[in-house]
Chain A
Amino acid sequence: MATLVLLHPLTAALVNLDTRARVLHWWFIQITVANLVVIILMVLVFVAALLIPFRGPGSKR
């Protein structure tokens, strides 16, 4: 447990999550920054999954 305590500054969230959420508002669209970041990450991962070649065994059936 002492190791966990020592590692705490390293393992703590990079962004302070213990505050009020920041909300973006444009016309009728209202979204928190956290949700927007997750959506952008999902799009990036989706595009990367399509473009990055898969270097697995590549077996055939």
Chain B
Amino acid sequence: MTTAAEEDASRLETDDEWTVRLRHVALEKLPPEQLLPATQPAYVASWIYVFGVLTVSALVVIIASGAVLTIFGPSWWHTSTAGHFVNSIHIWSVEVFFFTMVVHLWGKFFMAAWRGRRRATWITGVVAVLAAVGAALTGYLSQQNFDSQWISTQAKDGINATGAGAFFNVLDFGQMLMWHIMLLPLIVSFIVAIHVLLVRIRGVVPPFAESSEGS
């Protein structure tokens, strides 16, 4: 049942407004029951399908622990016991993130998960890997120890060989820290969000035997 106020509002709405057009497209492409489904196809009941959500879970821990490190700063995470602990949570969640992401990638590669108009899902996954590698590199460069010094002096030759060294200077600690705590987390989170939305729009790729989708 709609109220008089809602009826008035719907009469006032026209497709000239971009918010209305965007809402219609969003609801058409991704209805709420498809965005947050209660069930999954039977073939999803396999451990190999768990690694995608494990990767996203690790990313949540990375962002949360990174936020705590950002609040208290380097003098805290380098000197206090609690700071060391949160710093360790941050690095080990990165290890879990890459570990589960690689197993997820192997699983999807051998399923040919780009089948059935899922190319964009595959490509956003690949871009997420590349962005995550950048985020990890700038993180290792932000450690402020001999390890980061060694990595930066090794990486500069590689980066300079690509020509990117002119604007992406791995020896510039300030620039690397800012990329690590602002730019790259935004990029990784955005691409992962698009990736997950595409999985919800297109669905999980079926096994070869159950699929007649080809290519």
Query: How many B residues touch the partner, as a band?
Result: 10 to 19
A31 at the interface (CB under 8 A from B): no
Task: Determine the chain B residues whose CB is within 8 A of the CB of A49 once the complex forms.
Answer: 46-48, 50-51, 103, 107
Cβ A38 vs Cβ B99 within 8 A: yes
Q: Which of B41, B46, B51, B99 contacts A61 (CB 8 A)?
A: B41
Q: Which of B38, B45, B81, B99 contacts A42 (CB 8 A)?
A: B99
Number of A-B contacts (CB under 8 A): 47
- Which chain B residue lies CB-closest to A1? B81
Complex Cα spacing A61 to B38, Å: 9
Residue interface bits A1-37, CB-to-B below 8 A is 1, else 0: 1001000000000000000000000000000000000
Spell out A's residues near B (CB within 8 Å).
1, 4, 38, 41-42, 45-46, 48-50, 52, 54, 56-61
8 further interface pairs, Cβ-Cβ under 8 Å (given A52-B47, A59-B38, A61-B39): A4-B81, A38-B99, A46-B107, A49-B47, A54-B46, A58-B45, A60-B39, A60-B42
